[in-house]
Structures are given as C-alpha cells and as structure tokens.
Amino acid sequence: MASNSTDPSTTDDDEYQVRYEDEADDDERTIEEEEQLGSDDEQNELDNLQADADMPLDELLKLYDQNSSLIHNRSHEEDDNESDSSSEDNNENNRRHQFHHFLQINGKLLPEHDDDDTDDSFEPVILIHVGDEYQAQVEPQAEFSSKNGHYDDREVPVDELLWSPSSMNNDDNNEKIDEYLKTIRNEYPFADDEVSLQTLLNCQMNTELALIKFRQLPMKTIYSYSEWPLDEIQHLEEGLREYGKNFLKISLYKCPNRSVRDIIHCYYQWKKTERYQLYIEEQQRLNAIISVT
C-alpha cells in the first residue's frame, strides 16, 4: 500500500528555493527600474537645457530674473529672521548689563565681568567711612547747677581734682607731706594714697587738718576693699613667688577665702607699700644666689 505522506524536509527546501528565486527576481527588477529612472532624469535635464538653448534671450532673462527674485526674497526673509534673533539677543544682553550695573551700584556684590567659573576668593568691598563728613553733629549741653541737689539729664559730669604737684612748691611742704603720709600709713597700713593726698589737697595743704578729716572718713572710703590681715598678705607674697601673677591659682591654693577680684585689688595696693620694696629686694637676692650656684 502506497503512502501519501511527504517528507517535511524536502517541502521546506522547495519553499525556500522558491522564495529565494522570487526575491532575486524582485532585486533585478528594482535595479532595472532605478536605472530607467536615472536615465529618464538625465533625459529630462538634457531636454530642459535644449529648451533653454532654443529660447530667445529676452524670455530666458525674464525666466532667470523671476527665479533670482524668488531666491532673493527667500534669502531676505532668512536675513530678517536672523536680524530679529540677533536683536533679541542684543536686548537680552543689554538687560543683563543693566541688571549687573544695578547690583554693582547698590551693593558692589558682583565683579565687573561675569565668568562661568566662580571665584571663591571674592570678597565684597567694605567701605570705612572716615572723615568729618561722617561725624555726628552733637549739640553742646548746658552745664547744670542744682540748688536742691537733684540731678536730671542736663547734668554734665565734671572731673574731680585728686592731687596737684604744683602744691609742692618748696622743701618744707615736701617734708610735711612725707610726715603726713608716714603717719597715715602707720595708722592705716593699706590705705589708699590717692584718698590721703586728695584730703590734704582739699585742706589747702594743712597736714593737721587733713589728718583730722582723714580719720573721720568711713573705712570703705579709706580702703574701698576689706582690710587684709598680715597672714593673708604673707600668703599673697608666697603665691606671687610660686605662681607669678596667676591670681586664679593664688586664690585657689594660697588665699581660698579671697576672690580673684579682691586679690588683684590688694596686689595693686600692696605695690604702694614698703612691703613691696622689701619683697623686690628679697627676690633680687634670691635671683643672685641662684645665678651664682
């Protein structure tokens, strides 16, 4: 019994060969058509050239004038478009320049030219206003003398004279002043010399009257700070030898009952006394011994 089935591999080969032959025929026809179209274009161009050659000169000039006018119009339109765009760019640049100039006038925040690269080292210019035209005009205040002792905004503070060297006009006055200061220092070892000299000046250089007036002053005026006992002064001197002028350490380790403010005030009062001179002489002797050894 014969079989009607066919081999699938042979069927696929036949179809592939048919397709390939059809495609080959199509490619050949396409090439022939392109060659035919190219020959037609060349023939048309030759016909146009021949027609131009047979055309009278006047008609030929008119024909090319029309073509040139069309080309000129197109180029003119393109130039107009370019000019419009360039004018817009110029306007934009002008606006940027005006804005940049405005910022320079008001704040001087920008450099003169804009660069793409930012300058991190740029700092705005700070003008220091110096001169008479920048000074404030202050109206002079009238001096105020109050009969009842009240004060108001019209009061003008007046400096108070504490001491005048012109009062020491001869040697006798110098001896009296030295004796006066010695007496006060014996009675008040840490009294402020400014207070004692001011009292003497107010008493017209009368030392006896000045002593009476000085003894009548309150203690806070004489010392202005609490009086230091001798043992605390010795601790202060020890602290100066060990820590120098480090008053904080002196307060912590030598004078714990005294604040730094009190120690500083006592230090400057102590420098006016004879103990300070003795302290300096002792330090010089110690330094000499150390240098020799």
* CA atoms in the 13 A half-sphere facing the CB of 226: 9
Q: At 56, list the tokens.
A: 């009278």
The Cα–Cα gap between 134 and 227 comes to 50
3-state SS string for 217-267: CCHHHHHCCCCCCHHHHHHHHHHHHHHCCCHHHHHHHHCCCCCHHHHHHHH
Nearest CA to 163 out of 204, 190, 194, 206 is that of 194
Nearest CA to 270 out of 242, 235, 219 is that of 235
* Alpha helix ranges (H) inside 55-132: 57-106
The reported pTM is 0.31
Tens place of pLDDT per residue across the chain (293 aa): 444 444 544 555 555 555 544 554 555 556 666 666 666 677 777 777 777 777 777 776 777 666 655 555 666 566 666 666 666 666 777 777 666 665 555 554 444 555 555 566 777 777 778 788 887 877 766 555 555 454 444 444 556 787 887 766 677 778 888 899 899 888 887 777 888 888 999 998 899 999 999 999 887 777 666 678 889 999 999 999 999 999 999 999 999 998 898 899 889 888 888 889 999 999 898 888 888 77
The Cα–Cα gap between 103 and 125 comes to 13
The Cα–Cα gap between 15 and 20 comes to 9
DSSP category for residue 147 = S
Helix, coil or strand: residue 189: coil
CB 214 within 8 A of CB 230: no
